Amino acid sequence: MKTGHIQAECKDEPYCVKCNKVGHLSAMCASLSKATEPFWAGYGVEGRGFTCYDIPEEELLPPAPNAALVILEGGDLSAEHMEEELKDLVDEEWEWHVQKISRSYFAMFFPSKESLRMAIRGGGLTLPTSKLHVIVTSNVGDPTAVEQLEECWVKLFDVSPPYRQAVRILLATRDLGRPIAVDEHSLDSPLEPVRVLIGCRAPVQLPPFTVLFVNSLGIKVRIVREGGEREEHSDPPPPPQRKLSEDREEDLEE
């Protein structure tokens, strides 16, 4: 997994860090022991829990040839405003069925695959009323989706040795969101944080701590989102230095 872009825009084939093979995500790996039924995720973030079901890509219905994903570059628009902009710019008679799936991402259907292809090849569109620029791509997901998880790397500090296995970390971090992959190099050193790629509804709302239990003993694990504000101060502050006068007073008392 490379940094600098989101998974939905990645042009490389997915790479599994579990079996070290190309062609599938770690969360889809056949060698990974995981539930074959929907599971509850994200419940550690207040109001952001959701039900998730990981299924193979081949089971998903292929998208329609005119299904599009429109990415807003700056600014903010509602789904209704986006639809009005596209009606004015492309086809005012067409029912676009715009769905806003995040602050910048919109799913919709273009009037035809030809009009979608022209928008893609043209380098995007400039909306006539707001003057905002959008990037148009083919939608490889479900165009009826109303929300999309945001992927982010998090660092888990003070993870105990029993949890330093990819399978266990993927299962243990469901309270944060949909676990996708583990940086297996981060598992090697017990003093280093474990890096996990998580799909979240609101990465900025991830809690600062979680508790991982080994049998009946809970271990407090610190959570730092890469690129977040807390990462700049991820190391705990040093203990306050004792004044020399305090040491002298203790020596006199002894």
Phi-psi sector, 140: left (phi>0), alpha (psi -120 to 50), beta: alpha
From first to last of its 254 residues, what are the pLDDT tens digits of the chain? 456 666 656 777 777 765 666 765 665 554 454 446 889 999 999 889 999 988 876 677 777 888 898 999 988 899 999 999 999 999 999 999 898 988 888 989 999 999 999 999 888 899 999 999 999 998 766 666 778 888 999 999 999 999 999 999 999 999 999 999 999 889 988 889 999 999 999 999 999 999 999 999 999 999 999 987 555 444 444 444 444 455 455 555 55
Q: Are 180 and 27 in contact (CB under 8 A)?
A: yes
Q: Are 188 and 152 in contact (CB under 8 A)?
A: no
Closest CA to 143 of 76, 199, 90, 65: 65
Confidence (pLDDT) at 133: 94
Q: Residue 195 and residue 207: Cα distance in Å, rounded?
A: 16
Q: Residue 110 and residue 67: Cα distance in Å, rounded?
A: 6
Confidence (pLDDT) at 101: 85
CB atoms within 10 A of CB 96: 21
Q: Residue 130 and residue 207: Cα distance in Å, rounded?
A: 36
Confidence (pLDDT) at 252: 53
Dihedral sign computed on CA atoms, order 149, 155, 161, 164: positive
Q: Is 232 helix (H, G, I), strand (E, B) or coil?
A: helix
Q: Residue 83 and residue 95: Cα distance in Å, rounded?
A: 9
- Which token pair is 157? 């500090």
Confidence (pLDDT) at 31: 47
Confidence (pLDDT) at 104: 87
Confidence (pLDDT) at 24: 58
Dihedral sign computed on CA atoms, order 135, 72, 116, 129: negative
Question: What pTM was estimated for this model as a whole?
Answer: 0.57
User: Distances from the Cα of 108 to the Cαs of 39, 72, 86, 93, 195, in angstroms?
Assistant: 28, 13, 10, 15, 34
Closest CA to 134 of 66, 69, 71: 71
- Which token pair is 161? 């040795």
Confidence (pLDDT) at 206: 95
